[in-house]
Amino acid sequence: MRNELLIGGVWRQGSEDGRIAVLDPATDEVVTEVADGTPADAIAACDAAEAAQVKWAATAPRVRSEILRSCWQTLVDHTDELASLIVREHGKPMADAKGEITYAAEFFRWNAEETVRIRGEIGTAPSGANKIIVHHPPVGVVLMVTPWNFPAAMITRKLAPALGAGNAVVIKPPREAPLTALRIADLLQEAGVPGGLVNVVPTSTSGAWFDAAVDHRAVRMLSFTGSTEVGRVLLRRAADRVLKTVMELGGNAPFIVFDDADVDAAVQGAMVAKMRHSAETCTAANRFYAEAGVADEFTTKFAAAMAEVKIGSGFDETVTCGPLINKKAVDDVDGLVQSAISAGASVAVGGSRVAGAGCFYQPTVLGNVSHDSPIAAAEIFGPVAPVIPFTDHEEMIRQANDTEMGLTGYVYTRDLAKGLRTSERIQAGMIGLNRGAVSDPAAPFGGMKQSGLGREGSGEGIYEFCETQYIATSW
Ligand code: SIN
pLDDT, one tens digit for every residue, the chain (475 residues) = 899 999 999 999 988 889 999 999 999 999 999 999 999 999 999 999 999 999 999 999 999 999 999 999 999 999 999 999 999 999 999 999 999 999 999 999 999 999 999 999 999 999 999 999 999 999 999 999 999 999 999 999 999 999 999 999 999 999 999 999 999 999 999 999 999 999 999 999 999 999 999 999 999 999 999 999 999 999 999 999 999 999 999 999 999 999 999 999 999 999 999 999 999 999 999 999 999 999 999 999 999 999 999 999 999 999 999 999 999 999 999 999 999 999 999 999 999 999 999 999 999 999 999 999 999 999 999 999 999 999 999 999 999 999 999 999 999 999 999 999 999 999 999 999 999 999 999 999 999 999 999 999 999 999 999 999 999 999 9
Q: Distance between CA atoms of 89 and 86, rounded to whole angstroms? A: 5
Q: Smallest Cα–Cα separation from 55: which of 226, 206, 242, 193?
A: 193
Q: Boundaries of CATH 3.40.605.10 in the chain?
A: 5-249+451-473
Distance CA 200, CA 48 (A): 11
Task: Please state, in angstroms and rounded to a whole number, the distance separating the CA atoms of residues 200 and 156.
Answer: 13
Cross-strand pairs, 257? 290, 412
How much distance in Å is there from the Cα of 219 to the middle of ligand 1?
25
225 CB within 6 A, ligand 1: yes
Cα(443) to ligand 1 centroid in Å equals: 13
Is 439 touching ligand 1 by the criterion CB < 6 Å?
A: yes
How confident is the model at residue 16, as a pLDDT? 87
- Whether the CB of 283 sits within 6 Å of ligand 1: yes
- The pLDDT value given to residue 91: 97
Give the pLDDT confidence score for residue 191 in this predicted structure.
98
- Contact 146/200 with Cβ under 8 angstroms? no
CA 36 – CA 5 distance, rounded (Å): 8
- Ligand 1 centroid to residue 385 C-alpha, Å: 18
* pLDDT for res 43: 98
Q: Are 112 and 441 in contact (CB under 8 A)?
A: no
281 lines ligand 1 (CB under 6 A): yes
445: nearest Cα among 408, 410, 405: 408
Q: Ligand 1: which residue has its CA nearest to atom 6? A: 439
Tell me the CB-side half-sphere exposure of residue 76, using CA atoms within 13 A: 13
Active-site residue flag, 280? no
Query: In the annotation, is 467 catalytic?
Result: no
Mutational pocket test of ligand 1: of 100, 103, 439, 451, the residue with most ligand atoms within 8 Å of the beta carbon: 439
| Domain ranges in the chain with CATH number 3.40.309.10 | 253-440
In testing the pocket of ligand 1, which one of 430, 445, 456 has its CB within 8 Å of the most ligand atoms? 445
Paired sense of beta strands 285-291 and 253-257, if any? parallel
- C-beta of 142 in contact with ligand 1 (< 6 A): no
- Ligand 1 centroid to 281 CA: how many Å? 5
CA-276 nearest atom, ligand 1: 8
Q: Is the CB of 150 under 6 A from ligand 1?
A: yes
d(CA 359, CA 338): 17
Does the structural domain 253-440 have CATH classification 3.40.309.10? yes
The residue from 50, 248, 280, 379 that is catalytic is 248
- CATH of 5-249+451-473 among 3.40.190.10, 3.30.300.30, 3.40.605.10, 3.30.950.10: 3.40.605.10
Output the residue whose Cα is nearest ligand 1's atom 3: 282
Rounded CA gap, 232 and 144, in Å? Answer: 15
